[in-house]
Copies of this chain bind each other. A is one copy, B any other.
Amino acid sequence: MQRLADRGLRLTQQRRCIVAQIGAQEAHFDAEDLVSSLAAGDDRVSRATVYRLLPVLVEVGVLREVMRFGSRREFEPVEASEHHEHLVCERCGAVIEFRDQALEDAIESAARKRGFEMHRHSVEMVGLCPRCARAQARAEEDRS
């Protein structure tokens, strides 16, 4: 909230509602999640307002835009967690968050090596989570 004020942005009722709702949200969420959970509550905030505020919160450093699964833009609170990467299971849709210092280092070094001033990055790994990999292996065994 304070960060909005610092930037000369107004602290409207709607913005308070949105920020409060973000606090109540799961780790990842997208604009439509917010719109519907605000609608479910007593807060009346229009879709346009939510869509307008999200990029502002990213710029102000409250949110971080994470990968896009499908076509929706996903967000997560910056302070809630350290930066992390995501494993996406093709079979069950699970999203596994993880942090890997060696990977971070490799990314930063790759950028530096090429004179690139990196502001953010994301790694998307798609495949089978441990559970589905096992299930798949069993299914193939049975077939043979």
Contact = CB atoms under 8 A, between A and B. Distances in A.
Interface string A103-114: 101110111011
B111 A119 contact: no
Contacts of A124: 67, 121-124
Contacts of A90: 119
Count the copies.
2
Given A120-B126, A123-B123, A127-B120, A133 B115 contact: yes
Given A103-B107, A103-B110, A127 B118 contact: yes
A116 B125 contact: yes
Q: Which of A68, A96, A103, A127 has the most CB of B within 10 A?
A: A103
Interface of A: 67-68, 71, 85, 87, 90, 96, 98, 100, 102-103, 105-107, 109-111, 113-130, 133, 136
